[in-house]
Each structure stands twice: as structure tokens, then as C-alpha cells.
Amino acid sequence: MIQGVTVHNRILATTPIGSVAIDILEKWAPVEISSSPDEETLLGLMEGTVGLVCRGEGKATSRLIAAANDLRVIGRTGAGYDSVDVTAATTRGIAVVIAPVHAFAVAEGTLALLLALVKQLLTGDQIVRTGQWETKYALVPGDLAEHTMGIVGFGRIGAHVAKLLKPFDMTVLAYDPFVDPSHVGDSVTEMVGLDELLSRSDYVSLHVPLDDSTRAMINRDRIAQMKKGAVLLNMARGPVVESLDVLLEALDSGKLGAVGLDVFPTEPPDASHPIFSHPRCIFTPHVVANTELALERIYRSMANDMVMVLNGGRPTFCVNPEVFE
């Protein structure tokens, strides 16, 4: 943006986006990357912004939407849209498009974290690096074979996780109140209730959207229902788990054998929290979906749908299609 000059028909991104998205969007309007994703910075850029790419820590709040007189479409890089006030956008007739085309990447990341934890790869790596070879006899990795995996949330990602687990000779349980059990295919052994899944599973992976029904879904009471030594993965949204404190308590008591997190209650998390020095945890900074192929697909899908809206058409993936009625 030129100092002192208002740029009309701008497409604004809350954080940097890939060149494939910029190339598509710039055919419609100039693309500007905000210097910061905080609300105050974004508010100062809303005049003339017709399209908002909401990525990373950037949020399309009701306050931001109310100030965006020219805004016509909000694009989210991924499947989740809890960072967008969809109600406020819908009231204003603003379409919210998403890009749920990266399930394979999150599923692969889930399997990678699961195997790393169960096989104790980080511990083994440290044994070699620190010259403590004799301690290897105390290291007893676990198995996937003949164990039970519980998948909480059986949408695109959960279904792909189940597909990847087929060669591992596992019992796969799934919970999703919105999925017809007759439509899950042969990758799932059984669809069960959440309490039953937690009590029967050796490994539990979370793949639910964040809403009022899933916030703090995994709490002290639910963890108490799990098998002693169970492994918990959160690949969904951080607030689906009550807090880092309840996870640490469960690890210290032995109720949880290991924890893998790609998401956190607040992002970035407070790195001084003692869970981040716990030896039976692996953390990734909300990046398992951001593989090379997944990002290319996400950016292309989102940008094309945003341009479709700006051109007066209907996008492929829209969470509030009623704005077109």
C-alpha cells in the first residue's frame, strides 16, 4: 500500500500465503500481506478490502467484519473455520470459503506422530546421540499390531487415518455422531460412542472441528475413562482438550503413556509450561497439514473459490451457502 493512498479492491492476507494463491488472486485485485495478524493492524486495512485471506493467527472477528464495508469474501486456508465469526459474516452477506483438500497430509502426520511415540523414536535417537548404548535394554517400544485405535471425528481426515491404518492389523474404532455407520466402509472395525471408544482404545486421535459441543471434549473426567498408558493425539484444535495441565497430570500419574500435539489451547503456546520438557511427548507447531502438496492444493482451491465469489459465482467449498440465496 502506498503511504497516504487508499488502495481499493484489495485482497488482504493476515499472514504470508503461497505464490500459487497470489497468482490466482492478483488476476482480480492486488494482494497485500498484513504486517501483523492482530486485530488492530487488520482494522486499519479494511477500507477497500474486498477479499480477506484468514490464515495463521489472524481472525475474522465480528468487530473486523463490521468495519469491512467492502468485504465480499473470506477465505480460510484449510478445513477449520473457528477463526472466522461466520454468523457475523453471514449477516453481512459475506461468503466464507474453506479448502478441505488436505486430509491426506493431516492423516500422514497423525500416523507419523503415532509411530514416533509408540516406537519411542526420540528416546532411541537420544540413546545413540549421547553414547548411552547400554541403556537400550531398558527401552521397549510398543506395537500397533493387535492394538486398538480410536478415531474421534470421522470426517475427511479421520476417514483417511483409518485408511492408512488398514495394513497394521489393528482394531479401529470410530466416533462421530454425524456419520451414518453404514457409510464408513471396511476401514473401521466398529462405530461406537465416545465413552466406549475412550475406554477400549490403546491409542486415541482427535479429528473434530472446534465448536460448542467439542470444546474441552477431552477433560479430566474423559481421560479418567481411558486405558492406563493410552496414547493421546490432538490433531484437531487445541481447545478440544481442556488444558495442557490436565494432560501433564495424566502423564505424571501414568494414566496417559504419551501425548502428541500439533495444536494447542493458545497458539503459540507458553513454552515454559512443564509439559514441554516431558520425555513422553512430541509436539509440532500446527504444521502437519502444511506439506508441499497439501499447501498447493489448499491455496489453489481457496483462491479459485474466492475469485468465483468475487465474479458473482458460487464456490465449491462454502460454510454459509445461504448468503447466495
User: How far is residue 319's CA from residue 325's CA, in Å, rounded to a whole number?
Assistant: 13
Query: For residue 98, what is its C-alpha cell?
Result: 474453506
Which helix (H) or strand (E) covers residue 218, if one does? Answer: none
- Domain membership of residue 218 (yes or no) is yes
Across-strand partners of 282?
260
Which helix (H) or strand (E) covers residue 190, if one does? Answer: strand 190-191
Co-location of 181 and 58 in the same domain: no
DSSP state of 209: P
Note the pLDDT of residue 257.
98
Co-location of 178 and 140 in the same domain: yes
Model confidence at 1, pLDDT cuts 50, 70, 90, reads very low
User: How far is residue 139's CA from residue 17's CA, in Å, rounded to a whole number?
Assistant: 43
Co-location of 156 and 254 in the same domain: yes
- Domain membership of residue 2 (yes or no) is no
Co-location of 75 and 108 in the same domain: no
Residue 232: CB atoms within 10 A of its CB come to 27
Co-location of 226 and 279 in the same domain: yes
Active-site residue, 286 included: yes
Co-location of 43 and 129 in the same domain: no
Q: How many domains does the chain have?
A: 2
CATH number at residue 205: 3.40.50.720
Model confidence at 3, pLDDT cuts 50, 70, 90, reads very low
Residue 126: CB atoms within 10 A of its CB come to 13
Across-strand partners of 29?
none
CB 266 within 8 A of CB 239: no
- Domain membership of residue 1 (yes or no) is no
Domain that holds residue 108: 103-283
What is the rounded average pLDDT for all residues in the chain?
95
Model confidence at 7, pLDDT cuts 50, 70, 90, reads low
Q: Of residues 134, 237, 296, 300, which has the active-site annotation?
A: 237
Co-location of 163 and 222 in the same domain: yes
Q: Of residues 40, 267, 297, 322, which has the active-site annotation?
A: 267
Co-location of 231 and 271 in the same domain: yes
CB 55 within 8 A of CB 15: yes
- Do you know the residue count of the chain? 325
Model confidence at 8, pLDDT cuts 50, 70, 90, reads low
Co-location of 149 and 46 in the same domain: no
Q: pLDDT tens across 75-101, in order?
A: 999 888 989 999 999 999 999 999 999
- % residues pLDDT > 90 (the chain): 93
Q: What is the mean pLDDT of residues 151-164?
A: 96
Q: What is the mean pLDDT of residues 252-262?
A: 98
Co-location of 25 and 89 in the same domain: yes
Active-site residue, 8 included: no
Residue 252 scores a pLDDT above 80: yes
Active-site residue, 237 included: yes
Residue 62 scores a pLDDT above 90: yes
Q: pLDDT tens across 180-230, in order?
A: 988 888 999 999 999 999 999 999 999 999 999 999 999 999 999 999 999
Q: pLDDT tens across 100-150, in order?
A: 999 999 999 999 999 999 999 999 999 999 999 999 999 999 999 999 999
Q: What is the mean pLDDT of residues 152-175?
A: 97
Note the pLDDT of residue 4.
43
Co-location of 163 and 304 in the same domain: no
Residue 5 scores a pLDDT above 60: no
Q: Of residues 26, 286, 292, 314, which has the active-site annotation?
A: 286
Which residues touch 253 (CB under 8 Å, ≥6 apart)?
none
Q: pLDDT tens across 267-288, in order?
A: 999 999 999 999 999 999 999 9
- Domain membership of residue 3 (yes or no) is no
- Domain membership of residue 262 (yes or no) is yes
Co-location of 228 and 117 in the same domain: yes
Q: What is the mean pLDDT of residues 293-303?
A: 97
Q: pLDDT tens across 40-54, in order?
A: 999 999 999 999 999
Whole-prediction pTM value? Answer: 0.87
- Domain membership of residue 4 (yes or no) is no
Cα→Cα distances 3→6, 7, 27, 44, Å = 8, 10, 23, 13
Residue 211: CB atoms within 10 A of its CB come to 10
DSSP per-residue string spanning 259-313: EEES--SSSS--TTSGGGG-TTEEE--S-TT--HHHHHHHHHHHHHHHHHHHTT-
